[in-house]
A and B are shown apart, each in its own frame.
Chain A
Amino acid sequence: MHTYIIRRILISIPLLFGLLTINFFLIHAAPGDPTDIFYNPDMDPEARENIRRIYGLDQPLGVQYLKYIQGVVLKFEFGYSIAKKRPVKDEILEALPNTIQLSALALLLELSLGIGIGILAAVKQQSTFDNATRVTSLTFYSMPSFYLGLVLLFLFAGGVSATHWFPASGMVDIVRHDSMSTLGRLGDRAIHIFLPSLTLGIGAAAGISRYMRGELLEVIRQDYMRTARAKGLTEKVVVFKHGLRNALMPIITIMGLSLPFLFSGAVIVEQVFGWPGMGRVAVDAAFQRDYSMFLAVNLIFGVMVVVGNLVADILYAIVDPRVRLS
């Protein structure tokens, strides 16, 4: 299995390299360039050329490309952000952990809510619970995350004063956070991350719960479930031992594939909740034609796809003995 994982990682390197190359030429082909932000109508064209020269934008595209790739490969440097006036790596290292935090909690919510509700709905098929969750799942699944975020903000972060339970934006209470006790700080972080992670996770949870229900109902009809009952096992053991593990297998694949979507969903949700993560970095990079930043953001998305697939494959091999990674 270790050789399999190493091989998979090696295979993904040219893939990510290709992604970087295509994006490099695409973003340079787009109209505008990073110096636009310095531009004002009174500016001397000479001065503007100067700025371009400082950042190396006057050189032929091929040369710029080779220099960029050289930095990435040899020094693990991802260039300089013209808009933020600091190395891309610094900016990313600051924003990425915040997004990972948000996405991880959303993933946890997605899995626990989705799998839990799916199991209950399948076990109590056609019950009120099943019907109620069917309708709510569909509602949340089809609701755009920015809209859901706004609704939650309105309901629980100020719009309705009786239920003003959560802060409307940020990761911590900027004014009081530093003067809080350790426990207080933890609580402060928790109430700040709750609404954004809920917004991000609940749509995905709705999807997972429907898949989970369907899979479990399918598994419950299998012959080996009848064998398990014929042994004299309780229905609980039959469903949770014999059924669940089989029903989880497709869910693992779906989860792996959904990882990059969760991440790109975070970009939008972060905007709504003023969360200082990759969302803002990504949007700024695109609007400001901040080439290096844009490329780095895209590379991270590429890595998410690769990692999501790899994690799914590995989990699958752990759960299903018929799959041998080699």
Chain B
Amino acid sequence: MHVKESAGTVSMTQVQNAGSPHLEVRNLKTYFYTEDGVVRAVDGLSYGLAKGETLGLVGESGCGKSVSALSVMRLIASPGKIVEGEILLDGLDLLQCSEPEMREVRGNRISMIFQEPMTSLNPVFTIGNQIMEAIRVHQDVSRKEARDRTIAMIRRVKISAAETRVDEYPHQMSGGMRQRVMIAMALACNPEVLIADEPTTALDVTIQAQIMELLAELQSDFQMSILLITHNLGLVAEVSDQVAVMYASKVVEHTSTAELFASPLHPYTHGLLTSVPTLGMPREQKLNVIPGQVPNPLHFPTGCRFHPRCPVAEQRCKQEEPLLREVKPGHWAACHFIENGKSPMKGADR
């Protein structure tokens, strides 16, 4: 096992119960070198995604979820740069791959779907053209064969009249339909890992449920591992096997979904869970009950990045950054004051 001694660095190999993870991110750092300074969008991120499982990556808006996903795809453009870390896909370090090798991975071994179905498809090409393109770039098949597979794929994502819709343009479809098209495109080459970056955030609630149902169904058909990025804890509770909670560009807690919701150990997770709306709560009530502001990745607080907002912070928290460590079997957290698997927050165990 490879462990660097810098703060926040840890191998997640042992997080998973079932062998080594399918996709493992170790101490990833992705910075943007802007005029205002260095934006540390991802800064010491580590997680592991087991084969065939779903890992929910949750955190407030701006904490680095999307940048971390694009880093895995190696799609970070200037002024951004992956400055450190390892991204292991079945042991292959993607950060050591050449660009042509990486193109073989994208859309083939790892696929991604995005938050904005309305703008993620090219408006001037038919959806069939765009799905077919994904097939033909990785597989040596004839146009006819690719088209047949495309139509089959459109059917798989439950779009009716696939034979005619294949020749339609994105603007002729609703947001939910377009997200189905995105899914068809992502799964066209039968990838091992699907990264879904807030796949339902832009959609109506009823459509959200349909899309998540579809993803779950396709996951078992295609035997794929899913990294589900979301800020919706309810969604995570429903579909994830494991959860990694991100705060200020790194993971602060990582464990099974059941464990996380039953006994959150990190004060931030605790705050998040108590901010989840419950049935019958007045509509006007503010959801985010964690006082203070999300830290700016240009200037993170010293020590524990959560200390300005943490209700149980002490002097040590301002100076010393806590490591992500196994605080109880299969449960990892980054806080100085988790002892004997007990949270420093009163009444945290529910």
**Chain A residues engaging chain B, CB cutoff 8 angstroms:** 222-224, 226-234, 237, 242, 245-246, 319-322
Contact = CB atoms under 8 A, between A and B. Distances in A.
B264 interface: no
Nearest to A319: B124
B112 interface: yes
B169 A222 contact: no
A226 B75 CA distance: 8
Nearest to A229: B75
B149 to A, nearest CB: 15
Interface string B42-76: 00000000000000000000000000001001010
3 tightest A-B contacts by CB? A231-B107, A232-B106, A232-B107
Contact of B124 (A229, A231, A233, A245): A245
13 contacts: A226-B70, A227-B120, A227-B122, A228-B122, A229-B106, A230-B111, A232-B105, A232-B106, A233-B133, A233-B137, A320-B123, A321-B171, A322-B169
Contacts of B108: 232
Contacts of A237: 137
A227, A233, A237: which has the most chain B beta carbons within 10 Å? A227
A222 B87 CA distance: 26
A321 B123 contact: yes
B137 A224 contact: no
B70, B104, B120, B169: which has the most chain A beta carbons within 10 Å? B120
B106, B121, B124: which has the most chain A beta carbons within 10 Å? B124
Given A237-B137, A321-B171, 18 more contacts: A222-B119, A224-B119, A224-B121, A224-B122, A224-B123, A226-B114, A226-B120, A227-B121, A227-B185, A229-B73, A230-B73, A232-B104, A232-B105, A232-B137, A242-B122, A245-B124, A320-B124, A321-B123
A322 B171 contact: yes
B103 interface: yes
Contacts of B73: 229-230
Interface in B133-153: 133-134, 137-138
Interface in B91-139: 103-108, 111-112, 114, 116, 119-126, 133-134, 137-138
Contacts of A227: 114, 120-122, 182, 185
Given A226-B75, A233-B137, A246 B112 contact: no
B169 A231 contact: no
Interface residues of B, number: 29
B110 to A, nearest CB: 9
A231 B120 contact: no
Nearest to A235: B99
Contacts of B111: 230
Contacts of B112: 230
A218 to B, nearest CB: 13
A275 B206 CA distance: 70
Contact of A223 (B103, B120, B126, B134): B120
B103 A233 contact: yes
A224 B119 CA distance: 6
Nearest to B129: A241
B185 A231 contact: yes
A223, A233, A322: which has the most chain B beta carbons within 10 Å? A223
Contacts of B122: 224, 227-228, 242, 246
A228 B121 CA distance: 9
Nearest to A243: B122
A313 B124 CA distance: 16
A321 B123 CA distance: 8
Contacts of A321: 123-124, 126, 169, 171
Given A223-B116, A230-B75, A246 B123 contact: yes
A231 B171 contact: no
Nearest to B122: A224
A240 to B, nearest CB: 13
Contact of B114 (A223, A231, A232, A319): A223
Contacts of A228: 122
Nearest to A225: B122
B275 to A, nearest CB: 30
Given A223-B120, A226-B114, A227-B182, A232 B138 contact: yes
B96 to A, nearest CB: 18
A230 B75 CA distance: 8
A232 B137 CA distance: 7
Contact of B137 (A226, A231, A242, A320): A231
Nearest to B172: A321
B134 A231 contact: yes
Contacts of A246: 122-124
